[in-house]
Chain A
C-alpha cells in the first residue's frame, strides 16, 4: 500500500484546495500561498493605507477651511469696500473746500483723467472684482475639496499650487497681510503637501498592483 500523502495543513486562499505547508503556490490554481512575510506585508499595507487616508483627510479639511475663510473674505471685501466708497463719496460731496462741483470735476479730470462719476464707478468695479476673485477662489477650493474625494493627488497638488500662489499675490498687493497668520499658513502648506505625497503614494501603489 502506498504511503498516504501528508495531510494538507493550509488551504489555498483562492480555490480552497489543500496545500502542504512547504509549498509556495497552489498546485491546482497557481495562486500564491501567503507566507508569514506576506501576511506582515498585508498588515503593514493596511496601516500605510489608513495613514495615507488620514493625511488626505487632513488636507481636505484644510481645503474646506480655506474655502470657507475665502468666501467670508469675499463677502467682507464686498460690503466693507462698498461702504468705504459710499462714505468717501458722501464726505467728498459734503466737504467744504470752497469748490463748486464743476471746479471739483475739473480738478479730478486733471489728476486722474476721469470724471467724478467714472472715478466712483471704477472704484466700485475694482471692489466688485476683488470680491469676485475671492469668491471664485473660495468656490475653487470647495471644488477641490470635492475632487479630492476621488482624486486626492491631483486635487491636493492643485490646491497647494493655488494656495501658495494666492498668498504670494496677496503678499504683493499688501506686504503686511502676507505675515498675518503666518504660522497657520505654514500649517496649511504642510498639510496640503503631505496630502499630495499621501495621494501620490496611494496612486503609485494602485499602479504597482495593476502592473
Chain B
C-alpha cells in the first residue's frame, strides 16, 4: 500500500545539524537543541553573528568613556577660549575660540570617522526637504529672538550683542566665523561624533535629547540652555530623520546667519 502523496516526509532518524541519533519521540535534538524536521542551521553564520554582537557590545562601553572624554576636552577648549578673551582683543579671542573648537573637533572626527561616515555620504533630504528646512528657519529665529529679548526685559538685563566682538570687521568674516564655522564644526562634533557615540547604546529619542543637552551645556550659558536645547533637539531630529549631517548643517547655518543679519541691522541701523 502506497503512502498518500501529501503525507509529510518521514522524520530523519539522526539530527540533521549535529548528526547524532535521535530517540523516536524526540521533537528536538537533546544534544544541540535543533528542531527535528527543520533544515540544518548554518553554524558558521551563527558563530559569526555572535562574534559581531560581542564586538559591538564591547564597543558600547568604550564609547561612553570616549564620549565623556570628548565632552570634557570640548569644555576645556571653551575654558581656554575664555582665558584667551581675558588677555586679548575680543575679535582675536573669537578667532582663537573658533580655531580651538575646530581643532578639537577635526581630531575627534578623524578618530571616530568610521562611526558616521555614512551620515556624510548620504545627501539626506531631497530638494523639497531642504527647502522646508530653509523655510522653517524663519519661524524658529523669530521664536528664539522673542525669547531672548523677553528674558532681557524680564530680568532688566542690558546684554551686549553677541556680535559685539565682530564690530568693525568685514561682514564676510563675521558670516564665516559666526555662521559657517559653527554650522560645520559644531554639527560634526555634536550631530556627528557625540550623536553616533550615544546612538551605540541609546535609542533614537534618548540620543537626540542627550546630544541636545550636551550641545546646550557646552555653550556655557544657562539662560541660553532654554534656546539651545530645543534647537539641539531640532538639529538632532534632522540628523536622525535624514540619516545625514547636511540638513542640520543647513539649519544651523541659516539660524546663525539670520542672527548675524538681524544684529547687523540693529548694530548699524539704516546701513
Q: Do A and B bind each other?
A: yes
User: Which residues does A use to contact B, with CB under 8 Å?
Assistant: 19-20, 23-30, 32, 114, 118, 121-122, 124-126, 128-129, 132-133, 136-137, 151, 153-154, 157-158, 160-162, 164-165, 168-169, 172, 193, 196-197, 200-201, 203-204, 207-208, 211
Contact B31 A23 (CB under 8 A): yes
A20: chain B residues at CB < 8 Å are 30
Residue interface mask B51-78, A partner, CB < 8 A = 1: 0010001001100100010011001001
Contact A200 B31 (CB under 8 A): no
Contact A151 B157 (CB under 8 A): no
Residue interface mask B210-228, A partner, CB < 8 A = 1: 1001100110101100000
Contact A172 B220 (CB under 8 A): yes
At the interface, yes or no: B29 with Cβ under 8 Å from chain A?
yes
Task: Work out how many contacts link A and B, with CB atoms closer than 8 A.
Answer: 109
At the interface, yes or no: B28 with Cβ under 8 Å from chain A?
yes
Q: A25-B33, A125-B154 are in contact. List 18 more A-B contacts (CB 8 A).
A: A23-B30, A24-B32, A27-B28, A27-B30, A28-B26, A114-B158, A118-B156, A133-B222, A153-B201, A154-B210, A157-B64, A158-B213, A162-B217, A165-B217, A169-B220, A196-B64, A196-B68, A200-B61
- The 4 tightest CB contacts between A and B, nearest first, are A125-B156, A23-B30, A30-B28, A25-B33
A134 vs B103: C-alpha distance in the bound complex, in angstroms?
Answer: 33
Contact A161 B71 (CB under 8 A): yes
B202's closest neighbor in chain A, by CB? A154
At the interface, yes or no: B206 with Cβ under 8 Å from chain A?
yes
CB distance from A73 to the nearest CB of B (A): 13
In the complex where A125-B156, A158-B210, A200-B64 touch, is A27 in contact with B75 (Cβ < 8 A)?
Answer: no
What would 23 A/B residue contacts be, using CB atoms closer than 8 Å? Answer: A19-B30, A23-B31, A24-B32, A26-B28, A27-B23, A27-B29, A27-B30, A28-B26, A29-B28, A30-B33, A114-B158, A125-B156, A128-B155, A129-B157, A133-B223, A153-B201, A158-B210, A162-B213, A162-B217, A164-B71, A164-B72, A172-B82, A204-B60
Which bucket holds chain B's interface residue count?
35 or more
CB distance from B152 to the nearest CB of A (A): 9
A25 vs B27: C-alpha distance in the bound complex, in angstroms?
Answer: 11
A122: chain B residues at CB < 8 Å are 156-158
Pick from A133, A158, A165: contact of B218, CB under 8 Å: A165
Contact B201 A27 (CB under 8 A): no
A200 vs B57: C-alpha distance in the bound complex, in angstroms?
Answer: 10
In the complex where A125-B155, A169-B222 touch, is A25 in contact with B30 (Cβ < 8 A)?
Answer: yes
A30: chain B residues at CB < 8 Å are 27-28, 33, 35
